[in-house]
Amino acid sequence: MMPQPDRAKRNTIVLVLAQAMLGAQMPMIFTVGGLAGQSLAPNPCLSTLPISMIILGSVFAAQPLSAYMARHGRRPGFIAANGAGALGAAIAAYALWIGNFWLFLAGSLFTGVYLSAQGFYRFAATDAVSKDFAPKAISYVLAGGLISAVIGPQLVKVTATAMVIPFLGTYLAIIAINALGPILFAFLDIPPPPAAQPGAKPLGRTRTQMLRDPKIVVAIICAMVSYALMNLVMTATPLAVVGCGYAPARAADIVSAHVLAMYIPSFFTGHLIARFGRAPIVGLGLCILAGAGAAALSGIALENFFLALVLLGLGWNFGFIGATAMLAAAHKPEERGRVQGLNDVIVFSGVFLASLASGGLMSCAGESPQAGWAAVNLAMVPFLTLAGAALIWLMMRPKDTV
């Protein structure tokens, strides 16, 4: 058997590469999904519905996928999700070919299975590692998104207009990306948790009991708000940029800058958490998200879009990684499958609602793209208030160490 440190190191490398290579499909889809939906949708208010269907697919897949990996291990779960991602891209490509919006939504739903699996990369990084190394492992894996932030948008520039039907080449490229998954995960070596004995009661707390734990509840709230608000604004960004008169290539550049800002801090986020604690870093992330909204509301010049989306990515990094580290420290190993699946169901339910609202706010909340963009960013305020209040409440509890 491979020595524990070597196994942890190899698994981290595999997951970093997965985040970098396989994860490139997500910035590709989030760049073109709304624009493709806009070209197919019978109503402009539905233009971001394909993105919402991806999130909904992730919500549906999170709990079954978590349970499957708890029984059979991470490798088969990740490989199966790559198959679903390839199938979703194939269906979406065919839908573009025949001009069918509803079939395009079906393809997006399958893509959500891959997105759910990508969310588990960060949890897989904490498997079979020491508690002290866990925040750093999460950061290293998410730092792999730096490469995907470069590869994804550049592939969009090459493929979006490569064929007569716009964006068809992008979805064909996504099929090829998913085909790399089984090769990469062949090197993953994470043993599944010990199987429960027949008739034995599940180890650890039930989901209901875990939802009574303040640390778990606040971690989930902060993760949901960080991710949902990032998605709310990012989903609307390509529509806002193009609607304000800029070329789609500029939208790809802004998304690329955003994704870089999401992952560059991951090189030191784990160290900051180790030094200052999980809750202060989450609080910093929420404050930066508020700054992103302020930058977006201050104007529609390209510089405003770039600044807002860079701050949005940075705020997501601190808020989401910090909340993930909070959750990882709040449960026992035998509760892993239940709490991680529960977390992602709740988090991605919030993200689904945010992506659904994004198109409606952007396209239907005002008479111009500028008014819609303002509505999207103003919608951040109540949710940042909720997460901030929950975090302050947890930090003031004398018996809880966060």
Q: What is the pLDDT of residues 22-45, one digit of tens each?
A: 999 988 998 888 889 888 988 877
User: Is 18 or 202 the better-scoring residue by pLDDT?
Assistant: 18
Expressed as residue numbers, the domain containing 338 is 4-188+206-396
Task: Say yes or no to pLDDT of 381 above 90.
Answer: yes
| Short-list 149, 169, 172, CA closest to 160 | 169
Task: Say yes or no to pLDDT of 233 above 50.
Answer: yes
pLDDT band at 195 (very low <50, low <70, confident <90, very high): low
Asked if residue 193 is part of any domain, the answer here is no
pLDDT band at 361 (very low <50, low <70, confident <90, very high): confident
Task: Say yes or no to pLDDT of 84 above 90.
Answer: yes
Asked if residue 195 is part of any domain, the answer here is no
Pair 107, 174: CB distance under 8 Å = no
Please give the pLDDT value at position 377. 94
Residue 373: other Cβ atoms inside 10 A: 28
Asked if residue 172 is part of any domain, the answer here is yes
Task: Say yes or no to pLDDT of 174 above 90.
Answer: yes
Mean pLDDT score, 301-321: 94
Please give the pLDDT value at position 196. 56
Mean pLDDT score, 135-144: 76
Please give the pLDDT value at position 132. 65
Q: Tokens 């705020």 sit at which residue?
A: 315
Pair 290, 380: CB distance under 8 Å = yes
Query: What distance in Å separates the CA atoms of residue 93 and residue 103, rounded to the nearest whole number?
Result: 10
Asked if residue 194 is part of any domain, the answer here is no
Please give the pLDDT value at position 363. 78
User: Is 344 or 201 the better-scoring residue by pLDDT?
Assistant: 344
User: Is 37 or 193 the better-scoring residue by pLDDT?
Assistant: 37
pLDDT band at 3 (very low <50, low <70, confident <90, very high): very low
> What angle (nearest 5°) sits at the alpha carbon of residue 152, between those of residues 359 and 138?
90
Q: What is the pLDDT of residues 263-288, one digit of tens each?
A: 788 778 888 888 898 899 999 999 99
Lowest-confidence segment of 85-89, 143-147, 168-172, 254-258 by average pLDDT: 143-147
Please give the pLDDT value at position 2. 42
User: Is 314 or 37 the better-scoring residue by pLDDT?
Assistant: 314
Please give the pLDDT value at position 131. 65
Share of the chain above pLDDT 70, in %: 91
Asked if residue 380 is part of any domain, the answer here is yes
Asked if residue 317 is part of any domain, the answer here is yes
Q: Residue 155: which CATH number?
A: 1.20.1250.20
> Domain tally for the chain?
1
pLDDT band at 1 (very low <50, low <70, confident <90, very high): very low
Please give the pLDDT value at position 227. 93
Mean pLDDT score, 282-296: 96
Asked if residue 147 is part of any domain, the answer here is yes
Please give the pLDDT value at position 270. 80
Lowest-confidence segment of 21-30, 117-126, 296-305 by average pLDDT: 117-126
Mean pLDDT score, 104-117: 93
Mean pLDDT score, 190-214: 68
Mean pLDDT score, 111-140: 78
Asked if residue 276 is part of any domain, the answer here is yes
